[in-house]
């Protein structure tokens, strides 16, 4: 009987852990539509970080901006991130630890394309590159759905 109890306890623990491993949530359609107006904001800089890579890619990467967790990327998605103006560091926590630093100004909008190679079983490289606003606008409108950024109090599985 004790071994059955241990197995049941382990199963409950595994199910609870897996329930918390869901990827980053999609933003509501109204928030996605508003973000696709690509407007600036006062006192902050806005960074659009997007993945226009192939939807068949199953690789993910957890994104950090200025040492603040943003969320986990999926193909054909984007984040709209408000940052303090100045030198900002974007980092991916995947197999390769991809990084990009950009200088931002208050009231400006920036676009960063992100490519995550590989798949779930064999993750590859994460590559960031700054792109002109007209390129970023067009690619996001063509391919992408906005993801919600993770909030500091939101529970998620440990990395």
Structure confidence by residue, pLDDT tens digits, 88-119: 999 987 666 789 999 999 999 999 999 887 66
Global confidence as pTM: 0.78
- The pLDDT tens digits of the residues spanning 27-44 come to 999 999 999 999 999 999
Question: Which pLDDT score, from 0 to 100, does residue 100 have?
Answer: 94
Within a domain: 113: yes
Number of CB atoms found within 10 A of residue 61's CB: 25
Within a domain: 159: no
Within a domain: 72: yes
Q: Which domain holds residue 79?
A: 25-146
Within a domain: 40: yes
Residues 120 and 57 sit within 8 Å (Cβ to Cβ): no
CATH assignment of the domain containing 51: 2.60.40.2890
Within a domain: 12: no
Within a domain: 5: no
Among candidate residues 154, 156, 151, 149, the one with its CA nearest the CA of residue 31: 149
Residue 73 main-chain phi, psi, to 5 deg? -80, 155
Q: How many domains does the chain have?
A: 1
One DSSP character per residue, 83-152 reads E-SEEEEEEEESSS--EEEEEE-TT-EEEEEEEEEE-SSSEEEEEEEEE-HHHHHHHHHHH-EEBPPPPT
Residue 4 main-chain phi, psi, to 5 deg? -65, -40
Within a domain: 155: no
The more confidently predicted of residues 106 and 23 is: 106
Whether pLDDT at 16 is above 70? no
Within a domain: 61: yes
DSSP annotation of 68 reads E
Whether pLDDT at 9 is above 50? no
Among candidate residues 23, 7, 139, 3, the one with its CA nearest the CA of residue 74: 23
């Amino acid at each position: 009987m004790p071994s059955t109890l241990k197995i049941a306890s382990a199963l409950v623990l595994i199910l609870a852990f897996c329930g918390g491993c869901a990827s980053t949530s999609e933003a509501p359609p109204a928030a996605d539509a508003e973000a696709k107006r690509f407007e600036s904001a006062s006192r902050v800089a806005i960074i659009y970080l997007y993945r226009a890579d192939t939807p068949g890619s199953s690789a993910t990467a957890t994104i950090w901006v200025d040492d603040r967790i943003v969320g986990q990327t999926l193909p054909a998605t984007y984040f709209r991130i408000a940052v303090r103006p100045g030198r900002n560091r974007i980092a991916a926590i995947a197999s390769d630890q991809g990084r990009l630093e950009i200088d931002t100004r208050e009231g400006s909008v920036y676009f960063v394309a992100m490519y995550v190679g590989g798949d779930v079983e064999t993750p590859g490289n994460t590559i960031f590159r700054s792109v002109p606003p007209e390129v970023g606008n067009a690619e996001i409108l063509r391919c992408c759905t906005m993801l919600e950024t993770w909030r500091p109090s939101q529970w998620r599985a440990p990395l």
